[in-house]
Structure 1
């Protein structure tokens, strides 16, 4: 019985193997993509520039996501002032811990202090200080370079 079953299964497997056909790759995945494109580098760059210009001029309701940031929207003095207020409020110590918890009371307290200073007169004073420091440093640099 076992011998007949074995022979029957073997014959069935052999018949299946003989009738199996190989299928070309094109039938599975389509025709291969040519490695060489028909556009030159200059044509691709021109098309990209044109599409960028078209995208930039699209009305806001057709765009997705936040607006593009304006280059140079924040001055160097404002960035320096913001950094100083971040450190002065204690956020630099709270936010860089291993056990950082953005829902914790300490984080909320420090964030409130930072936002109060950032939106208050401290920010304006810090910007003025940063601008004065930069102008004094540039004046020293100019005097030092002209003395040579």
Structure 2
């Protein structure tokens, strides 16, 4: 009988509920933090950083409709297929420039951690945001070396 080496399975994360800690890392429940933007009950994110955090949380909860809705029309893809093997595990905001109620543009530099196929990894990016019809939207980003 041969033995086959298998990679230990990463347990599936618990589903995110309104009362769960928000995946974005702020000290708030998902429903009162990013979940309110996802559902539309909290309006739109008032800053580029909060939009970045809510988009990260949308990747965690696999809310493609929100991701597409908050993407600038000029750079938005027609569809978005999220990899079911990707599990996002943490967000660290490294730097923000502009992106407040007083600005039309802003950038957010962040490090997002994930596990894919049992292997840990990270995404380090400087994302650009702009206002479209009064709301912050994601334009594009540059990958950085961590």
Per the TM superposition, whether the score is higher than 0.5 is no
Calculate the TM-score normalised by the size of structure 1.
0.19
Who wins on radius of gyration, i.e. which is larger? 1
Normalized per residue, the structure richer in helix is 1
